[in-house]
Structure 1
Amino acid sequence: MIELLEGRFFKTFIVVMEEQSFSRAADKLGYVQSTVTTHIQLLEQACGQKLFHRLSRGVKPTAAGEKLMKYAYQFIHLGTSIEEAMNEIEQAQGTVYLRMQESFFLTRFSSFMQPFMREFPKVKFRIESGFHQDILDQVLNHAIDFGIVPRDPQRNDILFYPLVEEKLIFVASGALALEVGREGLERLNQEVMISFGTDCLYHTQAGMALQEAGIDVKEAIELPSLEMIKQSVKCGNGFALVPEIAVQKELEDGQLKVLPISSANYSMHGLIVHKNRELSYPARLFQSELVKRSPLSNDESLMI
């Protein structure tokens, strides 16, 4: 079987999986569609399995296609690692693949990137946003080097490096906070909770805290970004559970107020990597620098 496999077949396979379409994959790869079809057919012959169901609008992976995905990512990663190993003689260069929550990037990670990239200008980043489970899935499938998640997955095949303990607070507009102050927390039974959605652990933590406080929120607004959540809360559309660091400016300006919901809401963000991931030199360098600069390192003054 190995004699029939080529890296370009796996690259085509991954793009078809991501785009769920032969034609869109061809456009992204710069191929004609017949080339994409040929690559997939040759890969199917090598595997002895059908990899995609052809639908009227695109394609859907078969069970064999789903299983092959993890190995395709590893195959491509191995080729990239070999290339980078040959190029890392005296200077780190290559790409580090990451996935994290948008809120963590905005409040923590972006400040780390500037000095790192200044010191290692040939190290590039490919960063995607996501939530706990899909970040974990990407690491498990070897689709990325690292994930940054708000909780230790506690899995034997995942290494977890604590980075920062994040305090989470409930915030609302000044007007709603005043009403809660007058009427008590029961006032929130009439309000909408705003969150990133059920895929986000903050949503789960908020639900548990509200339940403990005797608050029954029957509705929720799901928004895709931290800025959209803050803007909605400031406009009085509801309340939200967010990292305290993400709203420091709004709290100082009085645009947002902290709601008196007493619950120990903390989130231990950490770096995760597959136990069997063969990391490139730039990835190992990134891991070392990020962990060293975290607030949980020996020097408490260091920030991510």
Structure 2
Amino acid sequence: MLTLKQLETFVQVVELGTFEKASQRLNATQSTVSKRISELEQATGLHIFDRSLRNARLTEEGEQLLELAYLTIDSANKIRELNKQPESKLHRIRIGFTELTALTWLPGFLREYTLERPDIRLDVTIDMSRTLYQQFQDGELDLVVIPLVPEVFAQPGVETLLLEKVEMAFMARAGLVDGPRPLPISKLESYTLISQGKRSGFAQDVNRWISHQGMASPVQITDNLLALVGLVTAGRGISVLPKLCVQRFAQTQDLEILETLPQPPTIGYYALYHSGIRVSLLEEVALRLGKAADFTRPFFV
């Protein structure tokens, strides 16, 4: 059987040049050193030393083994050091966020949390919620912050925590939509409806609600939230958007909130994370996310 002690003895013999010097360095008998080298040769099936010479000289096979022995010993030393490091230094969490989070409270959270917990490394992914959820299911992400999708309820081993509910509202370029407020939904049917695509969680919820109101499906689609706001501001149509966030970063004279009957539903943003051996750590991060979550304030305003 190949052992680490055999490899360490082998390296000492090579570095010191003789079995005798190696035995002194290792505080072992010369016969013990010889036995370990013989066992190493038997375990590997290699002829390591040319014993026809007085000093221990490596064969070609021995040279190849020496390189691997150094790598193996170095890895073993790193493993031994693990218990000397604080456990918290080992934490790495792969976490996914949507564009709305990235535009609002995420930069502030990352700045503060990095100072609070330098022992935790957050590997951040920004993408559409459906893509993030698929990566979460595939085990590529440990935690995601997305609008909750119905499939979550049927998936075992997933914990959920509501972070915040986002108020949604119809929005249009100022002056585009006439009529007394609040507007019946039927009054909006003549306007072009712009939305994010199917990979957006909140867009799916909103479009499902719009369909239930008897309105036609969105005509224009863009997955970029800022581009969507730009199209609405340019008067290309109307859209259901995160009310307070968009209101704050869009020029008030260019964009108008359309009060309607009924109002669009609020969208809940949840932290989803896997239960298991790291559930307490992920729960701690999720709770901290809940304290930071504020979808009403763009970070750049």
CA-to-partner distance for each residue in 1:81-114, whole Å, 9 max, x for gaps? x999768517646542111211122123222222
Quote the residue 2:189 is aligned against: 189
Determine whether 1:232 maps to 2:227.
no
SS of equivalent residue, structure 1 residue 172? strand
Query: What residue number does 1:99 align with?
Result: 96
Cα 1:293/1:249, change in 2 over 3 Å? closer
Q: How many pairs are equivalent?
A: 212
Question: Residue in 1 aligned with 2:147?
Answer: 150
Deviations 1:234-253 (A, max 9, x none): 00111111212321325672
* Residue pair 1:232, 1:238 contacting (<8 A) in 2 also: yes
CA contact (8 A) 1:173 1:255 kept: yes
Kindly tell me: are residues 93 and 120 of structure 1, through their superposed partners in 2, closer, same or farther at Cα, counting changes over 3 Å? farther
**Segment drifting more, 152-161 vs 266-275:** 152-161
**Given the superposition, is the C-alpha separation of residues 238 and 84 from structure 1 closer, same or farther in structure 2, using an over 3 Å criterion?**
farther
Instruction: Work out which of the two has the higher radius of gyration on C-alpha atoms and give 1 or 2.
Output: 2
Residue 93 of structure 2 aligns to a residue whose secondary structure is: strand
Question: Counterpart of 1:242 in structure 2: which amino acid?
Answer: L
**CA-CA distance at 1:121 after TM superposition:** 4.0
SS at 1:224's partner residue? coil
Q: Percent identity?
A: 16
Moved more, 93-102 or 231-240: 93-102
Quote the Cα distance in structure 2 between the aligned partners of 1:280 and 1:183: 47
Cα distance in 2, alignment partners of residues 281 and 89 from structure 1: 17
Q: Name the SS for the 2:178 alignment partner.
A: helix
SS in 1 for 2:235: coil
Q: Deviations over 1:113-143 (max 9, x none)?
A: 2211222345443222233333222222211
Alignment of 1:1-304 (within 5 A): 89=86, 92=89, 94-121=91-118, 123-151=120-148, 153-154=152-153, 155-178=155-178, 185-186=185-186, 188-217=188-217, 219-250=218-249, 253-261=252-260, 262-276=262-276, 278-279=277-278, 286-293=285-292
Q: What is the RMSD of the two structures over their aligned residues, measured on CA atoms? A: 3.5
Q: Cα distance 1:104–1:93, how it changes in 2: closer, same or farther (>3 A)?
A: same
* Deviation for aligned residue 1:147: 0.7
TM-score scaled by structure 1?
Answer: 0.58
Structure 1 residue 160: deviation in Å? 0.3
Describe the superposition over 1:252-299 as per-residue Cα deviations: whole angstroms up to 9, x where unpaired: 7232111233235111111101223x439975653342245457xxxx
- In the alignment, structure 1 segments of 5+ residues that lack a partner are 1-81, 296-304
Unaligned stretches of 5+ in structure 2? 1-78, 295-301
Give the letter aligned to residue 130 of structure 1: D
Deviation at 1:181, TM superposition (A): 6.4
Q: Contact between 2:247 and 2:255, CA under 8 Å: does it hold in 1?
A: no
Q: Secondary structure at the match of 2:230?
A: helix
Q: TM-score, structure 2 length as denominator? A: 0.59
CA distance in 2, matches of 1:111, 1:192: 36
> Amino acid of the residue matched to residue 257 of structure 1?
E
